[in-house]
């Protein structure tokens, strides 16, 4: 049996700001809600979300013999997270200004898993960092880290939504589990809905990805057209306005220090940047997911016209 306190200690030593431990179970209510979202077509161009739904909400189908989910969160808020000047037309989501979190968090979790195996012979487990069908935000709620906000992101009382998640799914039980987070602390606040430039945030904490700027700038482009509002990679509009984020502290783990300042790169700087210099400067960041040409295309197409509209199905 795993020691709950030891897990928390290892998470802190690895550099995580939060850690919660939950039993693995089928999240049936969340699965039903997700299927309704898919049925409404809000996944738009993200067809991969339609696959493996049964696994997404049941960790035991991803790891044979799974008993315990360890959910860890790293705060990443930096100066860019607080918003851009109104004149900036080359905005980048603040998480993308750092080393790719998949690499950073995966290394942190692997160290934890190795340490846990050393204290628990026979333990098996798997590391997850947003690369497999796992409902990590719902697991974070189950592990007591926070609640799902109106913008569909996990919000933690301590660090707002500027957190990056990673999970260990383990085959042993722990001596105790954290209670699920209770309640919805957004209250009557609708700042994220009001500040979304394209009306992508729907009621019932759902997102229409066909209108989401992050989807339009990073993922396979939806058929719909939207004004990118100056964003060229991702979007923080629904986060920078959140009261929990405005009062959240800056990150403390140097692994999440920004590697560049987006405000120092205007449209002309991106146009004159060549492939070699892009790789040299941004090769360890999430920007490589889109690549230089896609980013340039986002700059050229930053005024795709599409009125803000919260009508379901748009």
Element spanning 297, H or E: helix 292-300
Q: How far is Cα of residue 95 from the mean position of the Cα atoms in its chain?
A: 9
d(CA 237, CA 214): 10
Cα-Cα-Cα-Cα torsion 108, 104, 167, 191, nearest 10 degrees, comes to 130
Percent of the chain that is helix, strand, coil (3-state, to 5)? 40, 15, 45
Helix axis angle for 4-14 and 101-119, nearest 10°, is 140
What does the alpha-carbon distance between residue 191 and residue 177 come to, in Å, rounded to a whole number? 34
Catalytic residues: 130
Which residue stretches of 57-152 are H helix? 101-119, 136-142
Q: Among residues 110, 127, 106, 129, which one has the least CA distance to residue 118?
A: 110
Q: Kindly list the distances between the CA atom of residue 244 and the CA atoms of 160, 174, 211, 238, in Å, as whole numbers in the listed order.
A: 5, 31, 24, 12
Q: Is 264 exposed, middle or buried (0-12, 13-18, 19+ CB in 10 A)?
A: exposed
Q: How far apart are CA 43 and CA 18, in angstroms?
A: 29
β-pair type (91-92, 231-233): parallel
Which neighbouring-strand residues pair with 23? Answer: 68
CA dist 161 and 138 (Å) reads 14
Burial group, residue 48, by CB count within 10 angstroms (0-12, 13-18, 19+): exposed
């Amino acid at each position: 049996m795993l020691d709950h306190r030891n897990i928390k200690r290892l998470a802190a030593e690895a550099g995580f700001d939060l850690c919660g431990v939950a039993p693995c179970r089928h999240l049936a209510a969340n699965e039903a809600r997700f299927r309704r979202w898919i049925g409404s077509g809000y996944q738009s161009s993200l067809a991969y979300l339609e696959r493996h739904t049964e696994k997404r909400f049941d960790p035991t189908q991803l790891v044979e013999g799974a008993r315990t989910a360890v959910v860890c969160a790293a705060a990443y808020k930096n100066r860019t997270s607080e918003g851009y000047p109104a004149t900036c037309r080359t905005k980048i989501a603040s998480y993308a200004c750092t080393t790719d979190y998949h690499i950073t968090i995966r290394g942190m979790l692997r160290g934890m898993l190795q340490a846990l195996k050393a204290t628990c012979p026979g333990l098996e487990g798997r590391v997850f960092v947003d690369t497999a069908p796992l409902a990590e935000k719902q697991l974070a709620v189950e592990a007591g880290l926070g609640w799902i906000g109106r913008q569909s992101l996990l919000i933690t009382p301590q660090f707002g939504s500027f957190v990056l998640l990673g999970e260990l799914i383990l085959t042993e039980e722990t001596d105790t589990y954290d209670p699920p987070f209770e309640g919805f602390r957004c209250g009557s606040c609708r700042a994220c809905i009001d500040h979304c430039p394209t009306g992508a945030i729907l009621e019932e904490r759902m997102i229409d990805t066909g209108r989401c700027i992050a989807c339009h700038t990073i993922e396979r482009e939806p058929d719909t057209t939207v004004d990118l509002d100056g964003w060229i990679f991702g979007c923080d509009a629904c986060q920078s306005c959140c009261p929990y984020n405005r009062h959240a502290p800056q990150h403390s783990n140097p692994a999440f220090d920004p590697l560049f300042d987006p405000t120092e790169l205007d449209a002309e700087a991106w146009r004159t940047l060549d492939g070699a210099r892009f790789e040299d400067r941004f090769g360890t960041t999430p920007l490589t997911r889109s690549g230089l040409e896609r980013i340039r295309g986002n700059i050229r197409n930053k005024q795709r016209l599409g009125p803000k509209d919260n009508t379901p199905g748009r």
